[in-house]
């Protein structure tokens, strides 16, 4: 069957297949295996008793010849009997030699990805899984995303998680954890009160840099091996393939039960090892972009996958739909999304829409090396091409990120450290990169991911300290705290979808390590004791989140709020004033930010008639929905302060109810 829905303009060397049954189809009576390998001369199915790397641990249960369909390029075989928990590989013979390989469409594997596994997935569902529901927001701009690594979340002694569950999926299922010898909440107990809507997990599919037997090494996981299998090092038992699946679902179920959605960080742009990849071993030279016989490398990791080829495009779509349906995943963040072509990403959006239009999609609008991408600049998913993408495919706004704090890892300064050259990027970003006046690479705010820090580069706190030439990562100096608060206000009180690194809200430090992808736990682990040391900062973030949720225009996914907003700025003082037509909310709202070290006059303007009386609900110390005092004419905004005002009339109406 030749595919139409996934058609690519790139000429195909082989017949393609659009069936939804690649991999295996299991029943207790028989299992059917299908693998797309059009260039193979022969494919054998090899069955094993165990999933270990070591032949001495495994009994070969059988080697069977598969049958080829030249119209589709698919080899298939049905094996009678119950193969539940049987391991398997394919032995593929091509002109380049013979390779034994995992199934490209593996759903379960043995320890360290050695062999694929047949599994009755009904046995992997935790109790109550049939009642688990996706956590969706109506539009991307309603989301507030908190990015975390599974291991970082609970590996510290301060997490209060039981030792057996630290650093694992199951840490997310412990709901009453506290910092030892205290009442301060940690982990899931903490997330329940923070106010975020989604947790974004650093890669949790099976990756290659960790020995699952020992689990000693640390890695972020941007080195995929089997895309449709949960990583085993985060499970209690990586040997039995069903365990990691069940525990992953337990994690998702726990987050959902507490009203928090789950976003997967997906890395379809490259694989861990080109030569050892099931893609390359199955169909040599097909799944990757190549030029003059060499693999292109826009990912910076040795290869770049070919999303513009029919069968890798199909794989991406099948894989994403599988995670959404089998694991109830609520959204996807695409690593190096610029490696993928626009047509593929729009088709993915359409296919996910068939499940639910509220599934989130966003990614990094860059590559590691544009010259090695293998597709034209007009076809890749960068900000210059954002208008060619669906309004519901978001992009990280690195312009605003740099405007907020300066360049990522050096001692340069941005707006929060007093720069007078960053206001334009700040204002453009605060409008969701959708204002025709201040820069509009996005179709609408729904395409703009607003952020100051992520897992890459220095944490926000470490960047603030470096730009102020401070080496004390445990300082509580008010100067640095004020700069962190300014960043929080600019991220959370802007149009677009706000995104924060886990712990940013309590001055998380990695001790100045700007690239901690394989650094030890003492660098990467979240130190939950900092929630106590930086409690004032944490409460400030919580207050801003409450304000965001209380004023609908901040969450507008269209350009209406952009057009209704009035901005005044002079390089240091930024004043952003908006109006709201939704009942039972603040009608007028103004954010005034002063990044200088001296007080300054407040100027509030709008194209609409403004009220005379205002309430202050955020200043340099506190933020929330409770009045901190009345705004008075000729009042000045303090130094290094983000002040938020709402009209007194609607404030009083809301608080009388």
Residues acting as catalytic residues: 335, 364
Cα gap 234→196, rounded to integer Å: 24
Angle at 160 between CA 158 and CA 164, to 5 degrees: 110
Q: Where are the alpha helices (DSSP H) in 431-534?
A: 460-467, 478-492, 521-524, 530-533
| Distances, alpha carbon 56 to alpha carbons 49, 53, 59, 383, 438, in Å | 11, 9, 8, 53, 66
Structure tokens at 167: 């650093």
398-405 vs 423-430: helix crossing angle, rounded to 10: 130
Cα gap 80→264, rounded to integer Å: 36
Cα gap 374→339, rounded to integer Å: 9
| Distances, alpha carbon 179 to alpha carbons 154, 510, 530, in Å | 11, 20, 10
Cα gap 519→217, rounded to integer Å: 9
| Distances, alpha carbon 487 to alpha carbons 240, 388, 399, 418, 554, in Å | 45, 30, 14, 12, 16
Q: Do 102 and 51 form a contact (C-beta atoms < 8 A)?
A: no
Classify strands 294-295 and 30-36 as parallel, antiparallel or unpaired.
Answer: unpaired
End-to-end CA distance of the chain: 63
The residue behind tokens 């001790």 is 511
Name which of 202, 21, 519 is nearest 510 in CA terms: 519
Q: Do 428 and 483 form a contact (C-beta atoms < 8 A)?
A: no
Residue 190's region, left for phi above 0, alpha for psi from -120 to 50, else beta, is alpha
Classify strands 448-451 and 394-396 as parallel, antiparallel or unpaired.
Answer: parallel
Q: Do 305 and 289 form a contact (C-beta atoms < 8 A)?
A: yes
Q: For 338, phi and psi rounded to 5 degrees?
A: -70, -15
Helix, strand or coil, per DSSP, at residue 488: helix
Q: Do 478 and 471 form a contact (C-beta atoms < 8 A)?
A: no
Q: Do 290 and 296 form a contact (C-beta atoms < 8 A)?
A: yes
């Amino acid at each position: 069957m030749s595919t139409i829905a996934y058609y690519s303009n790139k000429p195909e060397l082989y017949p393609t297949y659009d069936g939804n049954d690649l991999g295996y189809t299991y029943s207790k009576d028989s299992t059917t295996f299908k693998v797309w390998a059009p260039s193979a001369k022969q494919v054998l199915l090899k069955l094993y008793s165990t999933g270990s790397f070591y032949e001495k641990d495994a009994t070969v249960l059988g080697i069977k010849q598969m049958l080829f369909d030249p119209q589709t390029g698919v080899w298939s075989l049905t094996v009678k009997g119950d193969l539940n928990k049987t391991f398997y590989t394919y032995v593929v013979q091509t002109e380049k030699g013979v390779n034994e390989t995992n199934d490209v469409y593996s759903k379960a594997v043995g320890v360290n990805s050695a062999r694929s596994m047949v599994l009755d997935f009904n046995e992997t569902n935790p109790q109550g899984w049939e009642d688990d529901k996706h956590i969706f927001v109506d539009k991307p701009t309603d989301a507030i995303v908190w990015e975390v690594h599974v291991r970082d979340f609970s590996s510290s002694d301060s997490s209060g998680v039981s030792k057996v569950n630290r650093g694992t999926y199951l840490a997310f299922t412990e709901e009453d954890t506290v910092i030892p010898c205290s009442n301060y909440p940690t982990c899931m107990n903490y997330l329940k009160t923070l106010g975020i809507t989604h947790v974004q997990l650093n890669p949790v599919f099976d990756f290659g840099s960790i020995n699952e037997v020992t689990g000693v090494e640390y890695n972020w996981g941007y080195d995929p091996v089997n895309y449709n299998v949960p990583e085993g090092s985060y499970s209690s038992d990586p040997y039995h393939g069903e365990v990691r699946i069940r525990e992953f679902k337990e994690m998702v179920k726990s987050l959902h039960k507490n009203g928090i959605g789950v976003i997967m960080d997906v890395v379809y742009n490259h694989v861990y090892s080109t030569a050892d990849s099931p893609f390359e071993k199955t169909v040599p030279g097909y799944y990757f972009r190549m030029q003059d016989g060499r693999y292109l490398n826009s990912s910076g990791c040795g290869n770049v996958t070919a999303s513009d080829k029919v069968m890798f495009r199909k794989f991406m779509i099948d894989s994403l739909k599988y995670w959404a349906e089998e694991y109830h995943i609520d959204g996807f963040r695409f690593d190096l999304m610029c490696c993928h072509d626009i047509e593929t990403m729009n088709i993915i959006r359409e296919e996910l829409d068939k499940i639910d239009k509220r599934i989130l999609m966003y990614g990094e609008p860059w590559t590691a090396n544009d010259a090695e991408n293998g597709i034209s600049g007009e076809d890749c998913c960068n900000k210059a091409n954002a208008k060619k993408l669906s309004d519901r495919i978001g992009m990280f706004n690195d312009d605003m990120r740099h405007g907020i704090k300066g360049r990522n890892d050096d001692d340069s300064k941005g707006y929060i450290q007093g720069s007078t050259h960053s206001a334009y990027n700040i204002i453009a970003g605060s409008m969701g990169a959708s204002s025709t006046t201040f820069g509009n690479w996005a179709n609408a705010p729904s395409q703009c991911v607003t952020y100051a820090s992520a897992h890459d580069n220095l944490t926000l706190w470490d960047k603030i300290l470096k730009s102020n030439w401070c080496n004390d990562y445990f300082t509580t100096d008010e100067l640095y705290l004020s700069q962190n608060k300014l960043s929080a206000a600019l991220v959370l009180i802007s149009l677009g979808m706000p995104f924060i690194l886990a712990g940013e809200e309590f001055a998380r430090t990695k001790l100045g390590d700007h690239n901690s992808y394989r650094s030890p736990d003492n660098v990467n682990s979240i130190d939950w004791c900092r929630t106590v040391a930086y409690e004032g900062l944490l409460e400030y973030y919580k207050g801003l989140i409450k304000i965001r949720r209380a004023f609908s225009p901040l969450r507008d996914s269209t350009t209406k709020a952009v057009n209704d907003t009035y901005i005044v700025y002079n390089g240091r003082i930024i004043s952003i004033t908006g109006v709201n037509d939704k009942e039972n909310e603040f009608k007028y709202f103004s954010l005034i930010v002063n990044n200088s070290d001296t007080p300054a006059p407040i100027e509030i303007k709008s194209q609409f008639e403004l009220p005379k009386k205002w309430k202050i609900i955020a200043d340099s110390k506190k933020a929330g929905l409770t009045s901190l005092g009345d705004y008075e004419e000729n009042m000045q905004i303090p130094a290094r302060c983000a002040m938020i005002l709402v009209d007194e009339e609607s404030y009083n109406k809301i608080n009388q109810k």
